Amino acid sequence: MKIFIDGEFYPEAEAKISVFDHGLLYGDGVFEGIRAYNNRVFKLSEHIDRLYDSAKAILLEIPYTKEELSEAVVETCRQNGMKNGYVRLVITRGPGYLGLSPDRCKKPTVIIIAALLELYPKEFYENGLAVITAPTTRTNPAALNPAIKSLNYLNNIMAKVEGSLAGVHEVIMLNSEGLVAECSGDNIFVIKNGVMRTPPIYMGALGGITRQTIVDLADQIGVPFQEQPMTRYDLFVSDEMFLTGTGAEVIPVVKVDGRSIGDGSVGEKTKQFMTAYSELTQTDGPVILSE
Ligand code: PMP
């Protein structure tokens, strides 16, 4: 595997960064998780735009133009001969010294890793996931806004661990008001009486690229859509539920906190979104290897 660090490609064993990098010391940085399908980098420009927004929000200046960084992502796939897989793009504050202030971090570190990804087992796409509400709430946007895809993922990790301890693969996270925000690494949608809903980003969610793709597909599928604050009650009484994320794609949920969603089977509209999404993945984004 060849890994991009600051403009050079390194074999995996030699891909190293400083122990004084504030990405490591403080989780000070931003990242993206991107997929390649069918020799194309899916939704690349959307991921690049979100990365630059995350960086801007934390006053981190990315030392490349969007065009240069996009090309570096495609080139990393090319160097690894990867036509289908996962790309992790990481920008850290860079090496500085001990101490919180990024003043002495003169040069952000740019890392691009192209690798294969472990998805949820196939049976969950066929039969649906069971999830729980995590005891840990999502970070308050006034403290650290979940809309920023920062390297500071401890909040999500703790919730994910709580899920694992309870025997589930994903967890729903509430905000500090007790309203539904998102999941540890996915956004959440419900369908009730034919209307699709997801919580607004200001509830404490990441503006998911997959979330937006599903909203864009709603017209085509013929499902009215609303962003709406939700309580756990709204989840329990929904007819269908699914989660969205770059890694998970669209995954059905059939149980929340022990309550069956709808009749406990994967929803019909959910299946349509799964199919429409997987079709779209085959045709979007810049080509990796010209044939
Ligand atoms: N929420 C969180 C907390 C995430 O980390 C992610 C990405 N894994 C998502 C939602 C989904 O976002 P996207 O569709 O852009 O992958």
Residue from 2, 43, 149, 269 carrying the catalytic annotation: 149
**Averages of pLDDT over each 10 residues, the chain, 291 residues:** 97 98 98 97 98 98 98 98 97 97 97 90 96 98 98 98 98 98 98 98 98 97 98 98 97 98 98 98 94 73
Secondary structure class of 126 (helix, strand, coil): helix
If you measure from the C-alpha of residue 185 to the centroid of ligand 1, how many angstroms do you get, rounded to a whole number? 5
What is the amino acid identity at position 23? G
Quick one: residue 170, left, alpha or beta (phi over 0 = left, psi -120 to 50 = alpha)?
Answer: beta
30 touches ligand 1 (CB under 6 Å): no
Q: Which atom of ligand 1 is nearest to the CA of 205?
A: 1
32 touches ligand 1 (CB under 6 Å): no
| 149 labelled catalytic | yes
Which among 229, 218, 220, 172 has a CA at the least distance from the CA of 195?
218
What is the rounded CA–CA span in Å between residue 231 and residue 220? Answer: 28
Q: What residue spans of the chain are helical by DSSP H? A: 22-26, 44-57, 66-79, 122-127, 154-165, 209-221, 232-236, 268-280
The per-residue pLDDT for 117 is 82
Which among 139, 260, 263 has a CA at the least distance from the CA of 203?
139
Strands 259-260 and 85-92: unpaired
